[in-house]
């Protein structure tokens, strides 16, 4: 799927007309405009603001708002926009470990028979272009993990697999940055998965049913070098399996982000290992969604009290 070519659309045109005329999907982004977070649709290399009081997707999704019914406002050239994470404050970030067959095999692990679930702390989220910190106290084991991420659109519980697509608002890209020594020191993996800035997300959410999440090429590059090159058809538990499994235990709220796992090629399992360092740049491209790029920087010398 490619973003269709379109002529400039007048300010008054509703996005429901865009959906009607150009296909059953939208690209929904967040960006900073005049020091305020705004939600916008991405159309023909422009951001078209959606007129809403909500500044983040969880609230907008919880309100049951139809993106296509929102009136539009100011246009911003995409090249000039300051993109933010499309979901800035998820009510939860859930993740699946060892969910690609080749990744389980490269680590010498058995293929799981039940999804391996862990969480990431919400303060890990950053947007496109923001810096991934190399922790001062754990600088040598920072790794990348390119992942397809689900964004939940409706509050739901006990979702049958066959109806899982009905509660998914869309899909985005997430880099499940991992501090490997801290990850392995704890069975829950939380402390190795949740450092500030270690959850880059974006560049936007693709909504609708145009994207088949189970047949998407996923490529991770570090400084232009391909490190991961796989397809979501290698998922052990697909997106609908995951939603069914998680909702069996607890309610999923609108805006919940679920990282579905990473394919083979993480830095830890190269010979020798290829871990991230200051000055690197990580770009993750998923077919039908886009590319998420972040530089790797030193952790700032700051202290919050």
Map out the domains of the chain as residue ranges.
Answer: 15-84, 93-298
The values of phi and psi at residue 292, to 5°, are -110, 120
Mean pLDDT of 218-239: 98
Report whether the peptide linkage leading into residue 203 is cis, meaning its omega lies within 30 degrees of zero.
Answer: yes
pLDDT tens-digit readout, 121-151: 999 999 999 999 999 999 999 999 999 999 9
Task: Give burial (CB, 10 Å; 0-12/13-18/19+) of 187.
Answer: exposed
Is the separation of the CB atoms in 104 and 236 below 8 Å? Answer: yes
Percent of the chain with pLDDT over 90: 85
Q: Please check the confidence at residue 6 and state whether its pLDDT lies above 60.
A: no
pLDDT tens-digit readout, 188-213: 999 999 999 999 999 999 997 778 99
Give the span between the Cα atoms of 193 and 213, in whole angstroms. 24
Give the span between the Cα atoms of 110 and 98, in whole angstroms. 9
Percent of the chain with pLDDT over 70: 91
pLDDT tens-digit readout, 60-99: 999 999 998 999 999 999 999 999 999 999 999 999 999 9
Q: Of the CATH numbers 3.40.640.10, 3.90.1150.10, 3.90.850.10, 3.50.50.60, which one belongs to the domain with range 93-298?
A: 3.90.850.10
Is the separation of the CB atoms in 206 and 200 below 8 Å? Answer: no
Query: How does residue 23 score in pLDDT terms, banded at 50, 70 and 90?
Result: very low
Give me the DSSP letters along the chain. Answer: --PPP-PPPPTT--HHHHHHHH-S--EEEEEEETTEEEEEEEETTEEEEE--S-SSHHHHHHTT--GGGS-EEEEEEGGG-EEE-SSSS-S-EEEEES-BHHHHHHTT-PPPSS-EEEE--GGGEE-TTPPEEE-TTS-S-EE--EEEEEEE-S-BSS--GGGGGGGEEEEEEEE--EEHHHHHHSTT-HHHH-STT-EEEEEEEEESSSS-TTS-EEEEEETTEEEEEEEGGGBSS-HHHHHHHHHHHSPBPTT-EEE----S--GGGSSS-----TT-EEEEEETTTEEEEEEEEEPP-----
Cα 290 to the center of its chain, rounded Å: 11
Report whether the peptide linkage leading into residue 180 is cis, meaning its omega lies within 30 degrees of zero.
Answer: no
pTM of the model: 0.91
Q: Please check the confidence at residue 12 and state whether its pLDDT lies above 80.
A: no
What is the maximum span of the chain, computed from C-alpha positions, in angstroms?
Answer: 57
Is the separation of the CB atoms in 166 and 152 below 8 Å? Answer: no
């Amino acid at each position: 799927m490619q973003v269709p070519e379109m002529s400039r659309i007048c300010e008054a045109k509703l996005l429901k007309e865009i959906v009607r005329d150009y296909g059953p999907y939208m690209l929904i982004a967040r960006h900073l405009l005049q020091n305020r977070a705004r939600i916008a649709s991405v159309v023909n290399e422009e951001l078209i603001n959606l007129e809403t009081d909500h500044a983040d997707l969880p609230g907008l999704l919880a309100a049951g708002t139809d993106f296509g019914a929102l009136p539009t406002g100011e246009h911003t050239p995409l090249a000039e926009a300051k993109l933010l994470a499309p979901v800035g404050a998820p009510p939860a970030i859930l993740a699946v470990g060892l969910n690609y067959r080749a990744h389980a095999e490269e680590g010498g692990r058995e293929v799981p028979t039940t999804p391996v679930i862990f969480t990431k702390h919400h303060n890990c989220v950053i947007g496109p272009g923001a810096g991934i910190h190399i922790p001062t106290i754990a600088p040598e084991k920072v790794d990348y993990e390119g992942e397809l991420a689900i964004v939940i659109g409706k509050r739901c519980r006990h979702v049958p697999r066959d109806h899982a697509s009905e509660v998914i608002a869309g899909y985005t890209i997430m880099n499940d940055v991992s501090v490997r020594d801290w990850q392995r020191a704890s069975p829950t993996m939380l402390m190795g998965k949740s450092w500030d800035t270690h959850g880059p997300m974006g560049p936007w959410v693709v909504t609708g049913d145009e994207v088949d999440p189970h047949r998407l090429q996923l490529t991770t590059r570090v400084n232009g070098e391909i490190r991961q090159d796989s397809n979501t058809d290698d998922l052990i538990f697909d997106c609908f399996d995951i939603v069914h499994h998680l909702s069996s235990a607890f309610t999923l709220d609108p805006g919940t982000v679920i990282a579905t796992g990473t394919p083979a090629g993480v830095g830890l399992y190269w010979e020798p290992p290829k871990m991230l360092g200051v000055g690197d740049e990580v770009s993750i491209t998923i077919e039908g969604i886009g590319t998420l790029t972040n530089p790797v920087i030193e952790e700032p010398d700051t202290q919050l009290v």
